[in-house]
Chains A and B, each alone.
Chain A
Amino acid sequence: MRIPFRASWLLAGLLVCLAVTARAAPPLPAEIASQGVLRVGVKCDYPPSGFLDANRNFAGIEVDMARYLATKAFGSPDKAALQCVTAENRIPALIGKKIDLIIATLGATPERARVIAFSDPYQWGGGDVLVPKDSPIHTMADLKGHKVVVLKGTTEEAWFTDKMPDLELLKLNSVADAMQALRGGRVDAYAHDDAVLAQLAAKNPDLRLIGTPYAINVAAIGIRKGDTALQAWVNAELADMKADGLFQKSIAQWVEPPLQPLMDKQFLTPRPKD
């Protein structure tokens, strides 16, 4: 069949419109709708992401996310049935259908992707490097020939061993040990998670961060494998959440001022290239 040129454009435009509206508002899956609440596993000991406030109420950025989703699904933030989960039990709780979603600082890793599905990422994080204020080290490349302290078992230990094998690494057990080694001049730099180092930098004006993210990981909402309808709904709502400025509001409410710039970067800017 021959379609006139102008009509084909019209048709194409219509299809695009349909596709866009379809993507913007996938329906809430019937299974969730019928249970009347959205059951979400959140952290209860991990401020500012998810924690219990002084009155033992759920609080934090990820708790706000769960309540936003419940509001969109059922019209009320109280329809979020929140449960405390830990790093060990969150995936079994999801697979065992005790909860519908994990919003609990869950890193989207290939190992986990074999067992569960993920939403689009909503936060990224990575490693940073802490050095004395007057240090000649300003970039990752400057680390060459210097001694760096890392903690055993951290992502940063694995990353430096893999990516910068010539570097002399001192591997210690605690943040306090690493800080002592840096302070005492035993090492020239301390590599660790950016959130941990940002707190240390905020408390110690004689130290500064390099600020180049590496060993980047992303946090996403965990969904049961096969719940593709729920996954589509969550992804659409995540986009709305961003557009509505939920993260700015939550960060302002739950994050200590010195850490707000880092959280703004992690939640509001796109994930940098590794």
Chain B
Amino acid sequence: MDYDFDWSYIWQSRLPLLRGLQVTLEVSAIGIALAIIVGVIGGFVRLFQVRGANQVVIGYVELIRNTPILAQLFFIFYGLPELGMKPSPFWSGVLMLTLWGGAYNVESMRGALGSVDQGLREAAYSLGLRRAQYFRFIAVPVALRLALPTVLNTAISMLKNSALLQTIGLAELTFVAVDRASQSYRTLEMFGTIGAIYLALGLGLASFVGRLEIRLHRPFRA
């Protein structure tokens, strides 16, 4: 059967789609920022083997990495109220994205901090820098640059995973598409449109981080 692709329906849906896009951007931006903070803190805990906290971070990372993200989301949204906490769909979404992205960022940061060249530390100490100064001026700036590509990878995944929040009733981009398609049956139009929007968002984020990388590497270039 020929499907009659209706471009005008996409145009008619522009306002709800834009509102959905706004929610997607908000929840993803907050989640990505918080996940980077979680990643840096967790990365240091792992690097310094902070007693007690180290085991907690290992457990957290393994739990998040080895369970389905939808199960985590449902646990947050439907499970937490049983414990007396009722975060709204938006903050449940932020919490899910932060926990999920944070776990991957912990590993990225640990790897990046661990792969800072030993020679840099020896050089720093022989120049009389203290341990704290070495981390502040040498190790962390270098590690952040090294971690950038994998953190970007995680950020793009978080942006796309925010689509799962439609299952808990957050009116983000995918929710708008599903909601409208369930009333109009214009499924291909809606999913084609949001597919294109996610693609554009991902490419935009990648190009931004790409430029950031070049800028950050400027002092190291001969």
Q: Among residues 109 to 163 in chain B, which have CB atoms less than 8 Å away from a CB atom of chain A?
A: none
Contact check, A186 vs B78: say whether CB atoms are below 8 A apart: yes
Chain A residue contacts of B179, Cβ below 8 A: 152-153, 171
Q: Among residues 173 to 206 in chain B, which have CB atoms less than 8 Å away from a CB atom of chain A?
A: 175, 178-179, 182-183
Chain A residue contacts of B79, Cβ below 8 A: 184
- Number of B residues near A (Cβ < 8 Å) is 17
Q: Which of B6-14, B33-41, B81-89 contacts A (4 or more CB under 8 A)?
A: B81-89
**Smallest CB–CB gap between A199 and chain B, Å?**
21
Main secondary structure of the interface of A (DSSP, over half): mixed
A-B contact count (CB 8 A): 33
B86 touches which one: A171, A180, A185 (CB < 8 A)?
A185
* With known contacts A152-B178, A152-B182, A153-B179, A171–B169 Cβ distance under 8 A: yes
| A181 CA to B77 CA, complexed, in Å | 9
Contact check, B78 vs A184: say whether CB atoms are below 8 A apart: yes
Q: Is A25 an interface residue (CB 8 A)?
A: no
Chain B residue contacts of A186, Cβ below 8 A: 77-78, 81, 86
Q: Is A158 an interface residue (CB 8 A)?
A: yes
State which size class the interface on A falls in.
10 to 19
Report the nearest B residue to A169, measured CB to CB.
B169
* With known contacts A152-B178, A153-B182, A171-B175, A181–B78 Cβ distance under 8 A: yes
Contact check, A173 vs B78: say whether CB atoms are below 8 A apart: no
Contact check, A158 vs B183: say whether CB atoms are below 8 A apart: yes
A170 touches which one: B81, B169, B178, B183 (CB < 8 A)?
B169
Q: Is B168 an interface residue (CB 8 A)?
A: yes
Report the nearest A residue to B168, measured CB to CB.
A172
Chain B residue contacts of A177, Cβ below 8 A: 167
**Smallest CB–CB gap between A240 and chain B, Å?**
39
Contact check, B168 vs A153: say whether CB atoms are below 8 A apart: no
Contact check, B167 vs A172: say whether CB atoms are below 8 A apart: yes
Q: Among residues 39 to 98 in chain B, which have CB atoms less than 8 Å away from a CB atom of chain A?
A: 77-79, 81-82, 86, 89
Contact check, B182 vs A180: say whether CB atoms are below 8 A apart: no
**Smallest CB–CB gap between B9 and chain A, Å?**
16
| A171 CA to B182 CA, complexed, in Å | 12
| A149 CA to B169 CA, complexed, in Å | 9
Report the nearest A residue to B82, measured CB to CB.
A184
* With known contacts A152-B178, A153-B179, A173–B167 Cβ distance under 8 A: yes
Chain A residue contacts of B167, Cβ below 8 A: 172-173, 177
Chain A residue contacts of B171, Cβ below 8 A: 171
Q: Among residues 161 to 219 in chain A, which have CB atoms less than 8 Å away from a CB atom of chain B?
A: 170-173, 177, 180-181, 184-186
* With known contacts A152-B179, A153-B183, A181-B78, A172–B169 Cβ distance under 8 A: yes
| A149 CA to B167 CA, complexed, in Å | 13
Chain B residue contacts of A149, Cβ below 8 A: 169
* With known contacts A171-B175, A172-B169, A185–B182 Cβ distance under 8 A: no
Chain B residue contacts of A170, Cβ below 8 A: 89, 169
| A272 CA to B81 CA, complexed, in Å | 38
Report the nearest A residue to B87, measured CB to CB.
A186
Sorted nearest first, the 3 A-B pairs with minimum C-beta distance are A153-B182, A184-B81, A170-B169
Known pairs A152-B178, A153-B183, A186-B86 / 9 extra A-B pairs, C-beta < 8 Å: A149-B169, A152-B179, A158-B183, A170-B89, A170-B169, A171-B169, A173-B167, A184-B82, A186-B77
6 pairs, CB–CB < 8 Å, chain A vs chain B? A172-B168, A172-B169, A173-B166, A180-B78, A181-B78, A185-B86
Binding site for A on B (CB under 8 A): 77-79, 81-82, 86, 89, 166-169, 171, 175, 178-179, 182-183
